[in-house]
Amino acid sequence: MAKNRRRFGYIRRLPSGRYQASFIGPDGKRQTAPHTFRTRTDADRWLVQVEADISRGVWLNEQLGLQLFGEYARAYLQDNPKVGRRWEETCLRNLRLHLAPLVDKPLVAITPAVVRQWHSEALRGEGGRRSIAQSYSFLRAVMNQAVRDGAITRNPCQIPGATADKAKERQVATPAQVAELVGAITPRYRAAVLLAAWCGLRRGEVCALHRDDIDLKARTVTVRKNRVELLEQPVAFDGDPKSEAGRRTVSIPPHVLPVLAEHMREWAGTDRVFVGRDGRPMRGDAIRQAFTRARDRVGMKGFTFHDLRHTGQTLAAATGATLKDLMLRLGHSSPAAANRYLHAVAGRDREVAAALSNLAQHGNAAKLPRTIVVKG
């Protein structure tokens, strides 16, 4: 049957006698009504409503809205240039392990009530809180894209605080404990411990260092890359930091220089600072295993390699480092994370109380311990 000529959209009569309506959407693609119509007038009314919705900016792509969440989520990961390989791997794993109840649901069927039910059941399950928070964050990002694509009108992810990873308070080591760890670990890894503890480098940043990133004369280490290792594939590569602030040059404390100089002579590769016994780039898991053995030897069970970074920044805050100082050393573009270290120091009530008594005894503010930072 010939299509009916009209200003917007097309109507044609099917062999069954019913009518089919279609139109060219704002995305330039032809869209067909999700159902046929008994009369031409019914089809015409539907097209009039679609045209009005498009003009008001509230039109929905009904066909896209019927796409299954799992298919749409995988396409989102593949097409989004901001998604890194490690995060893509994490999201696909969470899609398989935690978001499975939503995978076969159409986008339009994922309502706020469905999300709340999924989230509450996930929290009662065996998954870790961090993985569930990551899964919710991924779900929200995908549904935000669905809103932008016109598949749904509103993001159904409306649970306050669901993306927050309420991790336990990280441990802080003393300088003496850091020295014990350095003494207990295999010599090849000593410099890695010191760079994490006193310069705030992440494990991936340590593994990505090249020789020209270390300047012993200027007493600096420059972070340009982050070593990424996939969890479910034997793939490792140097990636860019998460933000521009991640690229930074950090001053090395003088007491770290002798160990770092020894490492450059004895253990560094021809190009990279940290290499394995085979001369290839050192894997982060090799550092983790060596650190775990040393940690257990000195009786610091539960203390992680990342806790070294937390330790160094807390001690830096205790010396009077400002928020901007900490942001530089951490490689953070937001003050939120760096501010935690200032709070950790400012909140040591017992030491502050003792310092106040010291002040009362001597009557001189100069007698206050220099390691106490009091924030107004």
Q: What is the pLDDT of residues 102-142, one digit of tens each?
A: 999 999 899 999 999 999 999 998 878 889 999 999 999 99
CATH topology identical between 66-149 and 175-345? no
Higher pLDDT, 153 or 167: 153
Element (H, E) at 355: helix 349-362
User: Kind of pairing, strands 248-251 and 236-239?
Assistant: unpaired
Written as six digits, the tokens of 233 are 């594939």
Of 190, 248, 309, 310, catalytic: 309
Of 341, 343, 350, 370, catalytic: 341
Amino acid type, 239:
G
Question: Domain 175-345 is of which CATH architecture?
Answer: Orthogonal Bundle (1.10)
State in Å, rounded, how far the first CA of the chain is from the last one. 80
Long-range contacts (CB closer than 8 Å, 24 or more residues apart) made by 43-50: 43/11, 43/19, 44/6, 44/11, 46/21, 47/6, 47/8, 47/9, 47/11, 47/21, 47/23, 50/8, 50/9, 50/23
Q: What is the tens place of the pLDDT at every residue in 244-259?
A: 778 888 888 899 999 9
Q: Delimit the domains of the chain by residue range.
A: 10-58, 66-149, 175-345
Residue 35 — very low, low, confident or very high, per pLDDT cuts 50/70/90?
confident
> What CA–CA distance (Å, rounded) separates 163 from 308?
25
Q: Hey, which residues does 68 pair with through a beta bridge?
A: 106
Is residue 263 part of the annotated active site? The answer reads no
Please answer whether residues 359 and 369 qualify as being in contact, where contact means their C-beta atoms are separated by less than 8 angstroms. Answer: no
Find the mean pLDDT for residues 354-375. Answer: 51
Of 202, 263, 272, 329, catalytic: 202
> What CA–CA distance (Å, rounded) separates 70 from 351?
53
Torsion of CA 207, 212, 215, 218, to 10 degrees: -130
Q: What is the tens place of the pLDDT at every residue in 319-363?
A: 777 777 777 777 766 676 666 666 555 555 455 455 555 656 665
pLDDT score at 6: 73
Question: Domain 66-149 is of which CATH architecture?
Answer: Orthogonal Bundle (1.10)
Q: What is the tens place of the pLDDT at every residue in 6-18?
A: 778 889 999 999 9
What percent of the chain has pLDDT above 70?
83
> What CA–CA distance (Å, rounded) separates 174 from 318?
12
Is residue 35 part of the annotated active site? The answer reads no
Q: Where in the chain does DSSP place strands (E)?
A: 10-13, 19-24, 30-32, 214-215, 220-223, 226-229, 236-239, 248-251
Written as six digits, the tokens of 98 are 């935690």
> What CA–CA distance (Å, rounded) separates 220 from 328?
13
What percent of the chain has pLDDT above 90?
44
Please answer whether residues 273 and 210 qualify as being in contact, where contact means their C-beta atoms are separated by less than 8 angstroms. Answer: yes
| Residue labelled with tokens 């930072």 | 373
pLDDT score at 153: 81
Is residue 202 part of the annotated active site? The answer reads yes
Is residue 19 part of the annotated active site? The answer reads no
Is residue 306 part of the annotated active site? The answer reads yes
